[in-house]
Amino acid sequence: MTGRCFVDANVFVYIRDPRDRRKQAVATSWIEHLWRERIGRTSAQVLSEYYAVVTRKLVPRVPPELAWDHVAELLSWRPQPVDGTLLTQAHQVELRYKISWWDSMVVAAAQLQDCTLLLTENLQDGGSYGSVTARSPFTLEARQSVAKYSPEIAAASRHRPRGRPRHAGPA
């Protein structure tokens, strides 16, 4: 893999969830790969969601100290802050792709961090959102080349743009 990879909260949660050992192993493999390659990215929103889920909803719950230690490690991935730039980009994503606000925030954060891959189970596997392709970490191996899932760039149209013709002005 050569491009940056954005990781959604559900992938981090699977690492701490012992109920599905296969998903836990795959998620762990992905995160280890991203650490080795130094291409993992995430956002403050994702880290907040991860912390809340593993300390309050996951069975068995993760102790807050352990969950915070994991979040603190992930701060070295330079998480995208929730700021005006992210909110504006998320609004554009929401309007263009008609996805939920929270998913728009994740896609926008991946776009702002120049990621080519977004690991998540919340979006359609293989869905393209501009320069970002969403993939389930459970349908794609961590060692696969980025070329196998990067979006195709459409050629520029040779046709005139649609719309009203420009008025030449008074004769």
Higher pLDDT, residue 142 or 14 = 14
Higher pLDDT, residue 169 or 153 = 169
User: Taking the CB of residue 50, how many other CB atoms lie within 10 A of it?
Assistant: 25
Residue 171 belongs to a domain: no
Measured distance CA(166)–CA(66) in Å, rounded: 63
Per-residue model confidence as pLDDT tens digits over 21-55: 999 999 999 999 999 999 999 999 999 999 999 99
100-106 own/partner pairs: CB under 8 Å, 24+ apart: 102/45, 105/43, 105/45, 106/6, 106/8, 106/43, 106/45, 106/46
pLDDT band at 167 (very low <50, low <70, confident <90, very high): low
What mean pLDDT do residues 135-141 have? Answer: 92
- Kindly report whether the global pTM for this prediction surpasses the value 0.85: no
pLDDT band at 149 (very low <50, low <70, confident <90, very high): very low
Residue 168 belongs to a domain: no
Residue 19 belongs to a domain: yes
Per-residue model confidence as pLDDT tens digits over 48-107: 999 999 999 999 999 999 999 999 999 999 999 999 999 999 999 999 999 999 999 999
What mean pLDDT do residues 104-116 have? Answer: 98
Residue 151 belongs to a domain: no
Residue 160: pLDDT over 80: no
- By residue range, what is the domain housing residue 8? 4-140
- Please count the structural domains in the chain: 1
What mean pLDDT do residues 131-149 have? Answer: 75
Query: What residue has token string 């008609």?
Result: 98
DSSP state, 158?
-
Residue 82 belongs to a domain: yes
Residue 166 belongs to a domain: no
Residue 42 belongs to a domain: yes
Burial of 16 (0-12, 13-18, 19+ CB in 10 A): buried
Give the pLDDT of residue 170.
56
CATH of the domain at 119: 3.40.50.1010
User: Taking the CB of residue 141, how many other CB atoms lie within 10 A of it?
Assistant: 12
Backbone angles phi, psi at 118, to 5 degrees: -125, 110
**8 Å CB contact between 45 and 109:** yes
Query: What residue has token string 């069975």?
Result: 59
Residue 30 belongs to a domain: yes
pLDDT band at 144 (very low <50, low <70, confident <90, very high): low
Per cent of the chain over pLDDT 70 is 82
**8 Å CB contact between 5 and 34:** yes
Burial of 56 (0-12, 13-18, 19+ CB in 10 A): exposed
